[in-house]
Amino acid sequence: MQFMPSSSVNAMKMVMANFLGLFLVMEVIVSGFRFGVDGLSMQYYLMSCPFVEPVVKNTVNRALQDDPTLAAGLVRMHFHDCFIEGCDASVLLDSTKDNTAEKDSPANLSLRGYEIIDDIKEELENQCPGVVSCADILAMAATEAVFWAGGPVYDIPKGRKDGRRSKIQDTINLPSPTLNATELIKLFGRHGFTAQEMVALSGKSSYTRSGKVLIFQKQIEQCGSNFGFKFCERHCQQHAVQGTMQNNHLMQQEMILTTYTIMV
């Protein structure tokens, strides 16, 4: 369990609210991808599983109290699911001896929050077995993460069906971190997103833990202000503390988000 001062949690929530406020475009994800929307309803589980939303909310809130960075993890997982053939929970499927699933793609190895979805599913199976789809659970968990982080309250239609196809080769369609702004705008545009919506969806990833970035003992400025991060990563790596992880600082987050938005 990760204990954090309330001031740090509030700061993190404020940072997420800055860009997840734009995450009403998640509604576009829910309805805008080309997957079957017939039969979706806000009240889909009203009779068959009436406590589905409280279960999702309570489970997500407990998890985020322990680790606030999982809020962005849930949103990112939902996005990675929806960007490939629609919101069908295919990102949750495990690989088999005959098939490598999306989950094991290099693009998805850093996804976090699977345990939250598992906990929700287990509780719902106890209350109403075989009723609530994993696709709906993931979508609802993402909306709760947005609200927890200080973003808007919004409802989504339910009734998605779980997909049975999950292939690693499909993840080639996910946005690559090597794409520049023009390439990203074109890629998202093919899915019906505007440049502003692309910024909101891409910006979610900047609120996370710095586990994938080495924390240098020597200040990055020692590499020289005329050199980029890639150069410093290559030439300063011997000064790095391996395995060091920390939450991104509020000021760093605001700088990243502001710079990213201006560049795009």
Kindly list the structural domains of the chain, giving each domain's residue range(s) and its CATH number in brackets, ordered by start.
Answer: 6-173 (1.10.520.10)
What residues contact residue 107 under an 8 Å CB cut-off, 6+ apart? 80, 171, 174, 176
41 annotated as ligand-binding: no
For residues 106-120, average pLDDT:
96
Dist. CA 79–CA 57, nearest whole Å: 19
- Catalytic one of 78, 80, 235, 249: 80
Which amino acid, residue 52? V
Instruction: Name the residue with tokens 């080639």.
Output: 172
Which amino acid, residue 231? F
**Residue 179 confidence class, pLDDT cut points 50, 70, 90:** confident
90 annotated as ligand-binding: yes
88 annotated as ligand-binding: yes
For residues 116-138, average pLDDT:
97
Model confidence pLDDT, tens digit, residues 140-170: 999 999 889 887 777 889 999 999 999 999 9
Q: What is the pLDDT of residue 36?
A: 42
- In the annotation, is 80 catalytic? yes
Q: Which helix (H) or strand (E) covers residue 216, if one does?
A: strand 215-216
Neighbours of 261 (CB within 10 A): 15
